[in-house]
């Protein structure tokens, strides 16, 4: 393990960690707001523009398919050029996409602008997760990265409150949806400057770029001068090519676990969450289904009571429970809630029992795979491919989310809410099995989890010895015996 990595692994929590959580977390506040508010917005847009079910589904899901592109692109670029060089650019795309969506003159332009927004959203996943992981210490890494992701809860709640406030105040629906979409630009704009000022990851500088002196300075700067370390040798970084990463059986197996489990989770989670107005409306009945205020209020209550505690409880306990172990707990219990809704006769006609089970599914989604699928890919891969691997995992997940959002209404129309949730239960079971392919990273150093990083550190020492000048004695160059 390099001195830089060892120092970061054992560093105490500091003000820098708090600033980093807020800087990275506001991106996820925006992500959640933008991704989940669209379900409310399209309910209003469909009435104004007379959209078909297929067109409504496309508006709901277009951001997710472009997030697939953004996660791949930004994830790879961050491994090639460095985290700092591109951090903040994805937030700028979110600002532009949100503002432009608010002024979209028609369906085609709205789809284009939401696509741009999605590229930024997708890019935010690997950038924020990996930077926070690489700045975290060994003991609190799950909590720190989990707290970044927990900002998603606040973004979702804010979306519900904004919709309720505008509709409750009697604002015209044609204006309400534009305000709702435009508000997504505010939190992202607030952190662009802070993101551009974030220091480069010392782990990346030392182990990938081979810039040991800069890595030591970055450690000193990030800790406000409280920590120092010896500079790693310069010029001996180790870069893993994309083909080298994807052709490595160990990395590919772990990637199947991170990307596959995240894909299955996002299918179920986004399909249910973005389509929540449809689910809740079908339970409330035909008359209440037309009262969007009541639907939003009920969603807000369920999410605030069941989901929000799950996010923060996961962040504060996963380092003790285990990151993979928490995913193995949350997946089956979330799936059980889906299954009970799907098999208990008449459950969707009984509002209170339905909401209890629906709330249970929300809680164990957050206290489980929704948080851990974000945390795990930023820990279990080597530094030179960590952002790439997280980008692939997040991108594949957003493909699952796209499919879930687009097909959930279709499945619901043919098989009812019960049938749609039975399929989600099956996916939760498969996700549980794929989680077994991922090593347990809790309380372990990133170097320990990534043998390639240990090799890189060893190569730095060898390279430093090779290029070091031969010491001289008073009689000339020293010779071995």
Mean pLDDT lowest among 96-105, 185-194, 413-422, 466-475 = 466-475
Q: Domain for residue 448, yes or no?
A: no
Q: State the average pLDDT for the chain.
A: 85
CB atoms inside a 10 Å sphere around CB 175: 11
- The pairs formed by 290-299 with CB atoms below 8 angstroms and a separation of 24 or more are 292/40, 292/43, 292/44, 292/163, 292/167, 293/164, 293/167, 293/168, 296/40, 296/160, 296/163, 296/164, 296/167, 297/164, 298/355, 299/160
pLDDT at 217 over 70: yes
pLDDT at 474 over 50: no
CB atoms inside a 10 Å sphere around CB 378: 29
Q: Domain for residue 461, yes or no?
A: no
Q: Domain for residue 70, yes or no?
A: yes
Q: Write the pLDDT tens digit of every residue in 322-365.
A: 999 999 999 999 999 989 988 888 776 777 888 888 889 989 99
Q: Write the pLDDT tens digit of every residue in 436-447.
A: 999 999 999 998
Residue scoring higher pLDDT (358 or 457): 358
Percent of the chain with pLDDT over 70: 85
Of the candidates 168, 359, 373, the residue with the CA atom closest to the CA atom of residue 276 = 359
- The maximal CA–CA distance of the chain, rounded, in angstroms, is 99
Beta bridge pairs of residue 473: 476
Q: Domain for residue 463, yes or no?
A: no
Mean pLDDT lowest among 93-102, 240-249, 318-327, 346-355 = 346-355
pLDDT grade, residue 233 (50/70/90)? Answer: low
Question: Could you give the CA distance from residue 481 to residue 473 in angstroms, rounded to a whole number?
Answer: 14
Q: Domain for residue 449, yes or no?
A: no
Q: Domain for residue 428, yes or no?
A: yes
Place of tokens 């505690």: 309
What integer is the mean pLDDT of 53-62?
A: 86
Q: Domain for residue 360, yes or no?
A: yes
pLDDT at 453 over 80: no
- Structural domain including 12 reads 3-227+242-438
pLDDT at 112 over 50: yes
- Say if residue 297 is exposed, middle or buried (CB neighbours under 10 Å; 0-12, 13-18, 19+): middle
Question: Could you give the CA distance from residue 468 to residue 33 in angstroms, rounded to a whole number?
Answer: 54
Question: Could you give the CA distance from residue 83 to residue 474 in angstroms, rounded to a whole number?
Answer: 48
pLDDT grade, residue 229 (50/70/90)? Answer: low
Q: Domain for residue 472, yes or no?
A: no
Residue 101: which CATH number? Answer: 1.20.1250.20
pLDDT of residue 272: 67
What integer is the mean pLDDT of 76-88?
A: 93
pLDDT of residue 426: 93
pLDDT grade, residue 227 (50/70/90)? Answer: low
Question: Could you give the CA distance from residue 459 to residue 21 in angstroms, rounded to a whole number?
Answer: 33
Mean pLDDT lowest among 11-20, 69-78, 365-374, 424-433 = 11-20
pLDDT grade, residue 419 (50/70/90)? Answer: confident
Question: What total number of domains does the chain contain?
Answer: 1
Percent of the chain with pLDDT over 90: 53
pLDDT at 392 over 70: yes
pLDDT at 236 over 70: no
Residue scoring higher pLDDT (36 or 243): 243
pLDDT of residue 302: 82
What integer is the mean pLDDT of 158-182?
A: 92
pLDDT grade, residue 240 (50/70/90)? Answer: confident
pLDDT of residue 440: 97
């Amino acid at each position: 393990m390099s001195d830089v990595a060892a120092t970061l692994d054992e560093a105490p929590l500091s003000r820098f960690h708090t600033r980093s959580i807020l800087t990275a977390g506001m991106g996820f506040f925006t992500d959640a707001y933008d991704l989940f508010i669209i379900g409310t917005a399209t309910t209003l847009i469909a009435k104004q523009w007379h959209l078909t079910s297929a067109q409504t589904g496309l508006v709901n899901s277009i951001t997710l398919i472009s997030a697939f592109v953004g996660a791949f692109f930004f994830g790879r670029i961050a491994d090639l050029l460095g985290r700092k060089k591109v951090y903040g650019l994805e937030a700028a795309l979110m600002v532009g996409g949100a503002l432009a969506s608010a002024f979209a003159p028609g369906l085609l332009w709205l789809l284009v602008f939401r696509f741009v927004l999605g590229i930024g959203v997708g890019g935010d996943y690997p950038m924020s997760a990996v930077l926070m992981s690489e700045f975290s210490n060994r003991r609190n890494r799950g909590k720190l990265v989990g707290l970044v992701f927990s900002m998603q809860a606040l973004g979702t709640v804010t979306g519900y409150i904004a919709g309720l406030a505008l509709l409750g105040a009697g604002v015209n629906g044609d204006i309400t949806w534009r305000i709702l979409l435009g508000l997504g630009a505010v939190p992202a704009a607030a952190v662009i400057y802070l993101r551009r000022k974030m220091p480069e990851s010392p782990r990346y500088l030392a182990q990938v770029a081979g810039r040991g002196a800069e890595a030591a300075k970055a450690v000193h700067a990030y800790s406000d001068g409280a920590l120092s370390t010896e500079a790693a040798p310069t010029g001996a970084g180790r870069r893993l090519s994309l083909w080298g990463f994807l052709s490595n059986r160990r990395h590919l197996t772990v990637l199947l676990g991170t990307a596959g489990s995240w894909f299955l989770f996002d299918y179920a989670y986004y399909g249910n969450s973005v389509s929540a107005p449809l689910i809740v409306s079908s339970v409330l009945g035909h008359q209440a289904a037309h009262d969007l205020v009541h639907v939003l209020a009920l969603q807000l209550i369920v999410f605030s009571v069941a989901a929000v505690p799950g996010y923060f409880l996961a962040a504060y306990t996963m380092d003790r429970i285990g990151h993979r172990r928490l995913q193995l707990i949350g997946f089956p219990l979330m799936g059980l809630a889906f299954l009970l809704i799907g098999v208990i006769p008449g459950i969707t006609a009984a509002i209170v029992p339905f909401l209890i089970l629906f709330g249970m599914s929300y809680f164990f989604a957050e206290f489980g795979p929704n948080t851990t699928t974000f945390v795990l890919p930023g820990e279990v891969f080597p530094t030179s491919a960590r952002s790439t691997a997280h980008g692939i995992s997040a991108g594949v997940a957003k493909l699952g989310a796209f499919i879930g959002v687009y097909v959930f209404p279709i499945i619901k129309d043919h098989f009812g809410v019960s049938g749609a949730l039975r399929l989600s239960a099956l996916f939760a079971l498969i996700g549980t099995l794929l989680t077994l392919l991922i090593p347990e990273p809790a309380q372990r150093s990133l170097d320990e989890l990534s043998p390639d990083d240990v090799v890189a550190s060893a190569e730095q020492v060898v390279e430093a010895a090779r290029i070091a000048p031969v010491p001289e004695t008073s009689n000339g160059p020293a010779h071995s015996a």
